């Protein structure tokens, strides 16, 4: 049974005959009659009594009538639902992020996106890089901000934009390094460190930096929340490497690393060269076209095209 056949059936009912129905449907009468005959053959019953001068519904036709109306209404509703999503009157998009994201003010960008597309529901997931990567591959996320542990993304993922974040050493106020304002990584061997949880983009970047400089860090505490890390540094338990905006927002001394200059790459990634979800496409376009962070935003710069 085809929607087209039901539409032809309803046209005969509403127009009172095959000739008028064909004219209303903009097809020849023979084609409309064939369509209705095929429907009757499929249902195993005549739908119209054709013996008189006027076409009349049979009992089978009267039984089909409310069902045909409901099915056609459902088809129209389905088209409207798809059109609404395509036009972003409604929809859903899921995005993941590393906890220490600073190159983009994600809450502000999502607020702006919501203002433009208020009917689109946005789901946000904060997790480790590995967890976000698997969620992208499994289709649980449309987009994610990652800090890859290496020069490229895992197979099957595409980079839509990249940023570079500067890392600094934060210390408690009054720490000897705070007055200096800068240091070498090799001079930090006697410092106690607070580390972020394993598997995060920040931990990976710091681990690579320490390995490159052959620094054996003495880790006194490791945490899973960046705010706790900042509070522990403020309390004097140790020092830590963080993106510069985190230290500046916390009001802690930010000691610049003179050599090598530490940093990490952040990537806005997805599963394919272009998302299939219309809401994800709209969010991607918004995020990659967003202005660089400036006044009132966390530090960063316009993303490089992926």
**What is the C-alpha end-to-end distance of the chain, expressed in Å?**
47
Task: Provide the 8-state DSSP code for 187.
Answer: G
- What residues contact 18, with CB distance under 8 A and at least 6 apart? 12, 29, 32, 33, 36, 55
Give me the CATH number covering residue 82. 1.10.10.10
Residue 215 phi/psi, 5° resolution? -95, 120
CA 295, CA 222: separation in Å to the nearest integer? 32
- What residues contact 55, with CB distance under 8 A and at least 6 apart? 12, 16, 17, 18, 48, 49
Same domain, 66 and 193: no
Same domain, 74 and 106: no
Backbone angle region of 26, left / alpha / beta, with phi > 0 → left and psi within -120 to 50 → alpha? left
Question: What pLDDT score does 159 carry?
Answer: 93
Question: What pLDDT score does 303 carry?
Answer: 53
Number of domains in the chain: 3
What is the block-wise mean pLDDT of the chain (306 residues), using blocks of 10 residues? 93 91 93 96 94 86 94 86 79 92 94 93 91 90 89 84 92 92 90 85 85 90 92 96 94 88 87 87 88 36 49
Residue after which a domain boundary falls, among 86, 109, 133: 86
Same domain, 256 and 184: yes
Question: What pLDDT score does 304 carry?
Answer: 55
Residue 38 phi/psi, 5° resolution? -65, -35
Same domain, 173 and 30: no
Pairing of strands 263-270, 120-126: unpaired
Domain of 279 in residue numbering reads as: 91-164+265-305
pTM of whole model > 0.85?
A: no
Residue after which a domain boundary falls, among 86, 108, 135: 86
Same domain, 115 and 178: no
Same domain, 279 and 255: no
Question: What pLDDT score does 197 carry?
Answer: 78
Residue (of 29, 2, 43) closest to 12 by Cα position: 29
Residue after which a domain boundary falls, among 51, 86, 121: 86
Question: What pLDDT score does 300 carry?
Answer: 39
Same domain, 252 and 177: yes
Same domain, 282 and 136: yes
Same domain, 255 and 178: yes
Same domain, 45 and 117: no
Give me the CATH number covering residue 219. 3.40.190.10
Same domain, 67 and 18: yes
Question: What pLDDT score does 254 carry?
Answer: 95
Same domain, 199 and 289: no
Residue 123 phi/psi, 5° resolution? -110, 130
- Torsion 131-135-140-141 (CA) sign: positive
């Amino acid at each position: 049974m085809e929607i087209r056949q039901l539409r032809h059936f309803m046209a005969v009912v509403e127009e009172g005959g095959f000739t008028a129905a064909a004219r209303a449907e903009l097809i020849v009468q023979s084609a409309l009659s064939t369509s209705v005959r095929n429907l009757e053959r499929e249902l195993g019953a005549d739908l119209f009594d054709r013996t008189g001068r006027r076409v009349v519904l049979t009992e089978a036709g009267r039984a089909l009538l409310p069902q045909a109306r409901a099915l056609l209404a459902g088809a129209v509703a389905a088209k409207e639902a798809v059109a609404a999503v395509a036009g972003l009157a409604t929809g859903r998009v899921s995005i993941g992020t590393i906890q220490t994201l600073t190159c983009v003010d994600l809450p502000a960008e999502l607020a702006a996106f919501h203002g433009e597309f208020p009917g689109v529901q946005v789901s946000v997931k904060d997790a480790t890089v590995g967890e976000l990567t698997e969620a992208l591959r499994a289709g649980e996320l449309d987009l994610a901000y990652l800090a890859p542990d290496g020069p490229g993304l895992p197979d099957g993922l595409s980079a839509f934009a990249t940023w570079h974040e500067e890392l600094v050493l934060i210390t408690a106020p009054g720490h000897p390094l705070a007055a200096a304002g800068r240091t070498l990584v090799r001079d930090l061997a006697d410092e106690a460190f607070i580390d972020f949880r394993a598997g995060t983009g920040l931990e990976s970047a710091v681990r690579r930096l320490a390995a490159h400089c052959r620094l054996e860090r003495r880790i006194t505490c490791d945490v899973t929340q960046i705010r706790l890390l900042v509070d522990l540094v403020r309390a004097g338990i140790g020092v830590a490497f963080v993106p510069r905006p985190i230290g500046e927002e916390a009001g802690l001394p930010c000691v610049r690393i003179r050599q090598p200059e530490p940093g990490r790459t952040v990537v806005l990634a997805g599963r394919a060269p272009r998302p299939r979800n219309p809401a994800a496409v709209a969010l991607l376009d918004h995020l990659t076209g967003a202005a660089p962070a400036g006044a009132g935003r966390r530090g960063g710069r316009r993303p490089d095209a992926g």
